[in-house]
Amino acid sequence: MEALHRTGSLRVQPASFFRDERHVGAIRDDEQSFPLSFALSREGVMKIVKNPKDVPPGIPDQRVDVQFQSPADYWLYCLSNSVEPRLFVDFAADACVIIRNRERFCRLLREASARDLSGTIMRQGPAMYVDPLLPESGDIFVPLCKHFRYAYQEEFRFCWLPLKPVRRLAHVDILLGSLEQISELITL
């Protein structure tokens, strides 16, 4: 956290990095897929089966499980919009950097990543927390989706999608320059 505050040094990890079993529970996650379940009426079932005439009349709603999958690896950088004490415990952290000027931070990250992650499409936004058993929508963009059990994290995410799909990426170290004027380092 000191390096981030003093020099703007940060590491952008590939989505595949987060599956590693050695990570603590709050970090370990499959960031490349998102499972959902939908309830389909008879009419909905008829739209997705090969022979709709085989769907019996009067059947109850049917559960359909779907796995949304990112077609390739991508880079991800996650922050929190809150300073929730639980985050320090869950992430085994003893420090954090509070960004006071978010617009400037985003601009610095966009400029640096344009240089260090060229050949990508950058997206950013708040994480969309989804109940996988009662999703409000099937409109899922995997890099910005999280299971609703993590809603307390109030995540804001940056992701970079390679223009040419890559199966497995390596981390990228980015240097933004000093953040001391726009941030505060908090240590426990």
Report residue 115: phi and psi, to 5°: -80, -50
Q: Determine the 3-state secondary structure of 20 from DSSP.
A: coil
Which residues, including other chains, have CB under 8 Å from residue 103's CB and lie 6 or more apart?
none
DSSP state of 18: G
Task: Give the per-residue pLDDT at 20.
Answer: 84
pLDDT of residue 23: 75
10-residue block means of pLDDT along the chain (188 residues)? 96 93 78 91 90 92 90 95 90 94 96 94 96 88 93 95 93 97 94
